[in-house]
Amino acid sequence: MDALKLISNSSLKEEVPVLNVGDTVRVHVRIKEGDKSRIQVFEGTIIAKKHGGINETFTVRRVAHGCGIERVFPVHSPVVEKVDVVRSGKVRRAKLYYLRSRVGKAAKVKEAIR
């Protein structure tokens, strides 16, 4: 068990941003197309955080052209280039799955004053 902890601790990223549920984030993702790679930006609200340690993931939701899109990003993935927190949200839940059924202004998250 100690060997697994040692391997997981050595492969963790050093600079992990503080991500909270309800925050609006801009995730820079490296996409490989053929032999070229480029960086694509995905901006949305964090609706869930799962697991912990090396397996930690966060789910980002956005609405594009009236269609909801959700992507799950591993925090320690080399594919995730960087994560910028655009604004922090004030929520009282650990999971914001109720935003899936809301449309328009009802799907907004209040901004936290920090």
Domain residue spans in the chain?
A: 2-107
36-50, strands of its sheet edge to edge: 67-74, 57-64, 36-50, 24-33, 80-87
- What pLDDT is attached to residue 1? 63
Does 2-107 carry CATH code 3.30.10.20? no
Report the percentage of the chain scoring pLDDT > 90.
Answer: 77
> Which tens digits make up the pLDDT trace of 39-71?
999 999 999 999 988 889 999 999 999 999 999
Q: Rg of the Cα trace of the chain?
A: 16
Given a cut of 70, is residue 101 above it in pLDDT?
Answer: yes
Given a cut of 80, is residue 8 above it in pLDDT?
Answer: no
Contact present, 83 and 19 (Cβ < 8 Å): yes
Terminal-to-terminal C-alpha distance of the chain: 39
Contact present, 40 and 29 (Cβ < 8 Å): yes
